Structures are given as C-alpha cells and as structure tokens.
A and B are shown apart, each in its own frame.
Chain A
Amino acid sequence: MSLLKRQGAFSGVTPFKWAGLVFAVVFAFFLADFLFCQKAAPVRVGADTSGPNTIAFLHALHGENIGLDCSHCHTGATSGAKAYLPAKADCMDCHRLPLTENPGIEKLDSALAAAPAYPWKHESALPEHVVFHHGVHAAAGVQCADCHRSAGTAVPANAGRGPAKNNSMADVYGGDNFTMQSCLACHRGETASSKNFKRAATYCAACHR
C-alpha cells in the first residue's frame, strides 16, 4: 500500500478515473453480452392473438361443456403418437354455422375471417431422446388433464415470446417444472392408489432412444 501511495496511484482524482476505467471495461463486457449473445430460443409458439381482429381461444368454451372431446380438435390425441393442433378448416366445421339463435358476434366473425389457415403452431418441448406416445397413455386410461393440468384457460396471446406462463394447453406438462420424475411417478406405480394406473415400463429404452 505504502508503495502505491508513494507512487500516487490512489491520490487526487486518479481513483475516480481508475474506477471509471474499470467500470467501462465491465460495462463493455455486459453490453457485448447483452447485444450479441444468444437469447434462449422460444420453445412453444401459440397463436398470435395480439392483433385487433383476433380473440384468444378459450378451452373452457370448447371442451366438455359443448360435448367436445380433446381429440376432436387435437387429432391423434387418443390414438396417435402426437396430438396435432387444428387447422382453421377444423374450426370452421362448427363455426360456419350460427352458434346460437342470437345474431353473430361481429368480433368473432371478423376474427375467424382474418385467421390464417393454420392458426396454431406447436413445437414439442420434449427432447429428441425422449419418446412419448399419446395413444399408449390414453389406452392405459390416462386422461388428457392428468398431464395437461392447466387446460381450460386462454391460449397464449404472446406468440413467439418463449414459454408462456399460466397459459394452459401450450404449457403442457406443467411447463418448465416438468421432469422425468413426473413420468416416473406413474410408471413406478406410485400413483396406483390415487389414480388407478397400472405400473408401466421403467427400463431406459422404453421411453428413451
């Protein structure tokens, strides 16, 4: 210390300059990181319902209350490997007819007219090395809502902005909290008493490749 003081490195205005320089270096580093480094890639993409002609899709209005099974719109949900998202044509199967005795809802009609042919996109959050077959689970008596717990709320309105929180079906397996333990709880038979599922395969290659 005494050596530094004698040399004048920590006297007068110099400490501020020195601090400024250190700050500039650190700032430059963070700035570069902020500007250039890769951001977390969005995993799930919902419909863009942010425009003036759009309405958020509500599962609550389209589910059991009008007698629709999940697999009616999500083709393959109870038989195939994947559950697909409906095309606009699938929506129009019902929506081309008047829904009630009342005159049509203007906003709904204009939103339907403006909707693209494939309003929803979905990229599975399942990693490449995991195999999940919807049909097998449906055949074993697993209900959609056993995994898709939050179904029933609005579909995300923030298209392409990363995993949407509290936004339901898009957040399928409990969102970011989903782990292999969620699968294993049932596969090991730990939920056998509460949900009446049979024990299932727990060897690696049953679900991984």
Chain B
Amino acid sequence: MDRREFLKLFSVTVAGFALFGCREGVFGPSVKAAKKTPAFADFENEVRLALSKMKPAMELVRIPMPSALKTPGASTENRFGMAIDLDACDGCGKCVLACIQENNIPLSGRAQAARGQFMHWIEMCGGVPAMCFHCGDAPCEKVCPTGAANHTPDGVSAMMYKRCTGSRFCGANCPVGARKFNFEDPVDSGRSLQFNSDVPVRTKGVMEKCSLCLQRLQDDRHDFKALHPGEHWRGRGVTTACAAACPKNAIIFGNWLDEKSLLVLAAKDRVLYAPKAVASLDPSIVYMGERR
C-alpha cells in the first residue's frame, strides 16, 4: 500500500466513523420510543422487597416538642413536621408506595436492591417508617458546597436539584442515611415513571431525599396568598402523601408552631422520641410513644 492509498483509505474510514457517530440522530427517536418504562407493579414489588429487607430499629431517645427554629430569618409562625405514632403503625408500607407515587421516586437497580439499597425516601426501620428528619440544625446542609441543600424559613430541609453537583458530602454527613443518590440516570436506565407532574424527575448525579412534600406546601401557600392577601399562612389543610395514605392514621403532618394544628393536638400529651443520632439536631419529624 502506498501513501496515497493509505490516506484515501484513512479518510474514508474517518468519514465512516463520523457518520457512525451520528447514528444517535438517525436511530435515536425509535430507540427512545422503545425505551423501557417500569410498570406500576414493579414499584409495588420493590416496596414488598424493601419490607422483606427491613433495616433494624433505631435507638430512640426522648426529646421535647419541637419549637421555632433558632436560625436567623426563620419563621416564628410555621415549622412543618410530622409525628409518627409508634402505637398505631403496623408497618404495612403503604406510606412508602404513596411517597413513590407522589415524588416520582425511581426503582433502584437490581444489584442495589439485592444489597437492600433503595431509592425510597421512606424506609422501614424495625417496623416503623423513617425518612429525613428535617433537622433544624441539619448537618447535611452545612457541608453542601453549592447550597443545593438548604433550609426554608418554615422548617423544611429542601433540596434544589438543579443546584446539586453530586458531591455526596450531604449523604456522608447524614446521621441516618436518609439521602439517596442517583448514580445512574433514572430515566435513561428505564427505572423512572413520572406519576406526579408537579415534581421534577431527578437526573444522574443528583442527591434526593424526603422533601416533606414541598410541592404541596408551595401550592397551598401560593393559593392561600392569592386568595387571602395580607393574612398569615399557617399551612392548614396541607398533608403529606405518606400521612394521607396511612390507613391507621399513624403519620400526622402539621405545623409545630400552630396550636390548632392536628400535629400539635396529637403530640402534646404524648411522649416524643427521636433517633439517638439526630436527637440533638432539633428534628422536625418525631415518633410519638405512650401517653403522658
């Protein structure tokens, strides 16, 4: 082969590879249309699998009733939270499925599921649900390099997905492991189903966790402010997906600073507990035990 022939052959090969590189555009739409999406039954099966691989119970310690946040700029009227009734909960796992449907939580990969790692924001620990405790003094937010994990004035530890660059520092610093990381793109790997159009689907490299159904709080706040200008919004009438789905009414959502809130009414004569790991971090989500 002489130089001329070699150069010709080389050029043609390069051109061929260039066209091959465009195949995504040529066959892209048909490939995308054929992309697999999970069925609802897959999510139900995964919840069952998660229940069968339940984590051990956390050590609980007594805590006082949550009060207003100490951080500057925090609201003195609203601090949202939940109380989980240890006596009422029978560990059926309906809250986990409701959370998946509300927040478009993807399936976890098969290998991860085998290891007991799920994307579920609510996990059963010793028969009771555990999620992000929305600590008033959240350790995850302190280590976020981009400010994607931050606190709202009304006590929600929020995650701004578009700001998240995936350093996973927050996950490492969470004492209860409530944060879940998208190692793969859930849509591209066919593990995601958008049940709720109000909640964006997360992408690869984004950390996610319980948002205390932030979208419901936002929508209610906006509707209230539009219809009752000048009045103070206390989040009455809002509930989270898990609380709404619980057949035993064991999860109660409400406003810790509102005397009329169902949460305060339910929790004021009960002994309150929090996992030992977060008890000193001023959690907004607590467990309710025996009556005082």
Contact = CB atoms under 8 A, between A and B. Distances in A.
Contact of A36 (B25, B162, B198, B226): B25
Contacts of A133: 222-223, 225-226
Interface stretch (B126-134, B151-159, B181-189): B151-159
B: interface residue count bin: 35 or more
Interface in B179-201: 198-200
Interface string B249-283: 00000000000000000000000000000000000
A21 B7 CA distance: 10
B32 to A, nearest CB: 10
Given A133-B222, A203-B152, A36 B214 contact: no
Chain A interface, DSSP helix/strand/loop, else mixed? helix
Given A25-B18, A80-B226, A9 B3 contact: yes
B223 A204 contact: no
Given A21-B11, A81-B219, A208-B160, A37 B25 contact: yes
Interface in B2-49: 3-4, 7-8, 11, 14-15, 18-19, 22, 25-26, 28
Interface of B: 3-4, 7-8, 11, 14-15, 18-19, 22, 25-26, 28, 73, 147, 150, 152-153, 156, 158, 160-163, 198-200, 211, 214-215, 218-219, 222-223, 225-227, 229
Contacts, number: 100
Interface in A186-209: 203-206, 208-209
A208 B217 CA distance: 12
Given A81-B222, A205-B160, 18 more contacts: A9-B3, A28-B15, A35-B25, A36-B25, A79-B226, A81-B219, A131-B219, A131-B222, A139-B225, A139-B226, A204-B150, A204-B160, A204-B163, A205-B150, A206-B152, A209-B198, A209-B199, A209-B218
A75 B259 CA distance: 37
Contact of A139 (B14, B160, B215, B229): B229
A143 interface: no
A32 B222 contact: no
Nearest to A3: B3
Interface string A7-41: 10100001000100110110011001101111000
Nearest to B157: A205
A24 B158 contact: no
B22 A37 contact: yes
B238 to A, nearest CB: 14
Interface of A: 7, 9, 14, 18, 21-22, 24-25, 28-29, 32-33, 35-38, 79-81, 128-129, 131, 133-136, 138-140, 203-206, 208-209
A191 to B, nearest CB: 19
A28 B285 CA distance: 61
B218 A131 contact: yes
A7 B211 CA distance: 70
A81 B223 contact: yes
B22 A140 contact: no
6 contacts: A18-B7, A35-B25, A36-B26, A37-B25, A79-B227, A140-B229
A9 B8 CA distance: 12
A206 to B, nearest CB: 8
Contact of A205 (B7, B199, B218): B218
